[in-house]
Each structure stands twice: as structure tokens, then as C-alpha cells.
Amino acid sequence: MSKIGVLGAGVMGRGVAQNFAQSGYDVVLIDLENRILEQAKEEIYNNIRFQTFFHNQKVTEEPEIILSRINFATDYELLKDATFIIENVTEKMDIKEKVYKRIDEVCLDECIFLANTSCVSVTQIASFTTRPEQVIGTHFMNPVPLKTAVEVIRGYHTAEETIKMTEELLSNIGKEIILVNDYPGFVSNRISHLFMNEAAFVVQDQVATPEEVDDIFKKCYSHKMGPLETADLIGLDTVVHSLNILYESYQDSKYRCCPLLLKMVSAGLYGRKSGKGFYTYVE
């Protein structure tokens, strides 16, 4: 079975590493510091237990056995025999650029690079490597192990063989792919950020409360979550960051960030992760 390198042990990297390890793959999970890797190990352990008890998902192995397939490490040299790299590092182009140059040097020529990004161009990421035909976007959804589909992005140079191998790989961990072409924000974030931003304007203009806005989406449109609950879940700082990328990329005022969102982020109201956003969360 292929060896999988997962870069970045934050929110997404943890979920990706867990999902592959649960599916029987050997994984190397790389981050910058052991402290982050320790937190990742603990969270993956808890998530496997949580998945069994709260989501009724059949996890047939003990968490210790699943965790034993993940090598938590800081050394990029461990990636030299990996077949696929799934990159989940911080959504900043300068950070991604350094990472792709490094893995391009270290990894096997045939290794495929999967970029997990919310908004940035997959074609630009691929340009940091000498193998743009083997670079593809994979926009996983959070929480990764519980989602059944991945938005897959074909960069300008992505080869058909790369798409085929990515589809096979993701199918082995229980994911269907939805293949789209590369423009910033792809389909999901290009549309959902307009919803979330406009919902914030509606609250700012006192047209409706956050509860009323979300109820219209849930009760009238039968969405599982409203746009403001979704923004709180993603993190309002992340939403603002993505809106700024979309605004710069398209040079289109429709992505200008709602002042209320900016004010909430300045006030430390990030949503679920800080305990308060459009809603208040108690542990």
C-alpha cells in the first residue's frame, strides 16, 4: 500500500492523517514543532473515540492501532519514499511556496502532490514545483473523516493520470470526488463566501438577527446549517482571510469584506474557536 505524507498537523492535516490511517495506510504527519504534533496525536485519539460513540460510525480498530500507523515527525526527509503528499499547511502563499520547493527536492519523481487549500490557485501552487502535471487541488471538508466527498481541482497543467490516481486514492478512503477547474475559491468557497458575507451585511443593516437569517436557510431552504453558523464554525478570521484572497484574485467588489465581520475579528470574536462569534458557545 502507498505511503502517504501529510504536511501540516493543524485542523485539516489531523483529519486527513486520521482518515488515511483508519483506512490502513502508513502516514508520515509533518509539522514544524513537536508541541503541535503532540496536540495532534491527542486530538486524533479523541476524535476516533468520538466518531465511534457520537456519530455511530463503525471504527473497527482500537485508536492505539490506528495511531500506530502515523509517524508524527518534523523531518521532511521521511517523505522521500512517499507516493502521495497531501499538503495542509497555513493558507499563505509564501509558506506554501517554501513547502512545495522543499518537497519537490525531497520526494520521488513519481510522487503526486495534493494541495488542500480553501481559495488559492492550484496552478500557482504547481508553478513552485518542477512537476506541475503531478499537482492537483483537493479541497477536503471539515471534519475530514465524516465527509463523503472532496472538491478536486484540476490545475492548468494537471495530467489526466494524476486525476485518475487521485480519484482511486480518495475512493480507497471512502470519498467521492467532484472535479472542477481552477479559479480562486473553486466552486465551494467562491459561492459560500458570498452567502456568509452578505448574511453579515444583513445583520449589520439590522434587517434580521443571526438566528432569523440562519432560520430562513434551515427552515425555508432545508439547509443543514445557516450561513452565519457556518461562518462561526469555519472561524470569522478565516472567512475574512478567504474573502480578501477572493477580492484580490478577482478584483471584484462583490467580495469586499463586510465591516461588521472585520470589527468582530478585531474584537476577538472568531466564532466557535474563541467561544463567541454570531453566537455564544459554552463548552
Ligand X SMILES: NC(=O)c1ccc[n+]([C@@H]2O[C@H](COP(=O)([O-])OP(=O)(O)OC[C@H]3O[C@@H](n4cnc5c(N)ncnc54)[C@H](O)[C@@H]3O)[C@@H](O)[C@H]2O)c1
Examine residue 31 and tell whether it contacts ligand X (CB under 6 A).
yes
Contact yes or no for 246/183 (Cβ under 8 A): no
CB 14 to ligand X: min, Å: 8
Backbone angles phi, psi at 57, to 5 degrees: -85, 140
CA angle 134/135/137 to nearest 5° reads 140
x/- map, 97-136, ligand X, by CB under 6 A: --x----------------xxx------------------
Candidate residues 43, 61, 91, 167; the one interacting with ligand X per rule CB under 6 A = 91
> For residue 149, what are the contacts with CB-CB under 8 A and spacing of at least 6?
141, 175, 176, 177, 178
Q: In what order do the strands lie in the sheet with 149-154?
A: 70-73, 26-30, 3-7, 84-87, 112-115, 135-139, 149-154, 176-181
CB 9 to ligand X: min, Å: 5
Rg, C-alpha atoms of the chain: 19
Candidate residues 28, 30, 152, 169; the one interacting with ligand X per rule CB under 6 A = 30
Contact yes or no for 106/80 (Cβ under 8 A): yes
CB 143 to ligand X: min, Å: 9
Nearer to ligand X, 117 or 202 (CB): 117
Plot region of 130 (φ>0 → left; ψ -120 to 50 → alpha; else → beta): alpha
Element (H, E) at 72: strand 70-73
CB 52 to ligand X: min, Å: 23
Point out which span in 86-94, 196-204, 210-218, 266-274 binds ligand X (CB under 6 A).
86-94
Point out which span in 78-86, 138-146, 252-260, 274-282 binds ligand X (CB under 6 A).
138-146
- Which residue's beta carbon is nearest to the bound ligand X? 10
Please report how the helices 236-250 and 259-266 are oriented relative to each other, as an axis angle in degrees rounded to 10: 140
Candidate residues 10, 52, 147, 218; the one interacting with ligand X per rule CB under 6 A = 10
DSSP state of 174: T
Examine residue 86 and tell whether it contacts ligand X (CB under 6 A).
no
Examine residue 196 and tell whether it contacts ligand X (CB under 6 A).
no
CB 119 to ligand X: min, Å: 7
Query: 223-262: which residues touch ligand X (CB under 6 A)?
Result: 234
CB 91 to ligand X: min, Å: 4
Q: Do the strands 135-139 and 149-154 form a parallel or antiparallel pair, or are they unpaired?
A: antiparallel
Reduced to 3 states, what is the DSSP secondary structure of residue 60? coil
Candidate residues 6, 21, 36, 122; the one interacting with ligand X per rule CB under 6 A = 36
Residue 76 identity (one-letter amino acid): Y
Instruction: Give the residues lining the site for ligand X (CB under 6 A).
Output: 7-13, 30-32, 36, 88-91, 95, 99, 116-118, 139-140, 142, 234
